[in-house]
């Protein structure tokens, strides 16, 4: 008696094995949530140090004198925030709009507009980095200069440094993800049925919007 052999494709090939879309959505939301916790914890730490929430303290200088640590006057840096930060804010918001249009286009199987909107998003993202990087560097330099010339706590400059690094890593991640999905879009990898990476990229860029708006608002209010 012969036994029927099981077709080699019965259980699917690696190409057919796909992560359920619901699972990928949950995973992406958890990923964004974890990044949000890291950023907002950094933001709260900076705000607490900036407002003197932990109180003042004293240090002993090398010459033997004692100095009282003080935080800069509330809003002291407000007047010197680089105007280019407003331009970068407009760019990041515009990128959020274009990536949403890209997602809407691919869902309607409009491949040409989809690629155009995606390319526009990447251009806006790169411009955002180019415009914002010098501005944030000048803010960081201001914090370290203030620390060197006054008795402001070093923790304030350190907190700003960590906050900018976290923000920069988030933005780099966004630019890299946009670059990858644009490359894959050029290979016709997405259509109205399979476009989950575009959805994830759009969600991530909306998250970057919130991160920057909170950070920018904090800099305006606290200085």
CATH code of the domain covering residue 28? 1.20.120.80
**Structure confidence at residue 53 (pLDDT):** 58
Domain contains 105: yes
Q: Residue-wise pLDDT tens for the chain (223 aa)?
A: 444 444 444 434 344 445 456 677 788 888 888 888 888 888 887 777 777 655 554 444 445 554 444 555 544 444 567 888 899 999 999 999 999 999 999 999 899 999 999 999 999 999 999 999 888 888 888 777 766 555 455 667 777 888 888 888 889 989 999 999 999 998 888 888 888 889 999 999 999 999 899 888 888 877 6
**Structure confidence at residue 91 (pLDDT):** 94
Q: Two tokens at 125?
A: 């993202």
Domain of 35?
A: 24-222
Q: How far apart are CA 27 and CA 203, in angstroms?
A: 12
Domain contains 11: no
Alpha-carbon distance values, 192 to 1, 103, 108, 138, 168 (Å): 48, 9, 6, 44, 32
Domain contains 93: yes
Domain count, the chain: 1
Domain contains 3: no
**Four-CA torsion 160, 163, 169, 175, nearest 10 degrees:** -90
Domain contains 205: yes
| Chain centroid offset of residue 18 CA | 28
Domain contains 9: no
Q: Two tokens at 45?
A: 């730490």
Domain contains 49: yes
Q: Are 87 and 131 in contact (CB under 8 A)?
A: yes
Q: Two tokens at 20?
A: 């359920």
Q: Two tokens at 96?
A: 């959020």
């Amino acid at each position: 008696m012969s036994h029927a052999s099981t077709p080699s494709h019965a259980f699917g090939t690696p190409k057919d094995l796909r992560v359920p879309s619901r699972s990928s959505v949950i995973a992406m939301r958890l990923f964004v949530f974890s990044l949000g916790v890291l950023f907002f914890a950094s933001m709260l730490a900076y705000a607490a140090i900036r407002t003197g929430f932990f109180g003042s303290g004293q240090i002993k200088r090398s010459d033997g004198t004692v100095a009282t640590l003080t935080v800069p006057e509330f809003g002291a840096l407000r007047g010197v925030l680089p105007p280019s930060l407003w331009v970068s804010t407009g760019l990041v918001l515009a990128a959020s709009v274009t990536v949403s249009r890209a997602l809407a286009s691919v869902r309607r199987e409009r491949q040409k507009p989809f690629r155009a909107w995606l390319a526009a998003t990447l251009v806006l993202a790169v411009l955002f980095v180019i415009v914002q990087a010098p501005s944030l560097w000048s803010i960081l330099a201001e914090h370290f200069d203030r620390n060197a010339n006054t008795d402001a706590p070093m923790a304030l400059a350190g907190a700003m440094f960590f906050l900018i690094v976290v923000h920069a890593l988030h933005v780099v991640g966004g630019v890299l993800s946009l670059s990858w999905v644009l490359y894959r879009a050029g290979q016709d990898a997405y259509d109205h049925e399979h476009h989950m990476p575009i959805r994830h990229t759009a969600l991530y860029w909306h998250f970057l919007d919130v991160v920057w708006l909170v950070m920018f608002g904090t800099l305006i209010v606290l200085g």
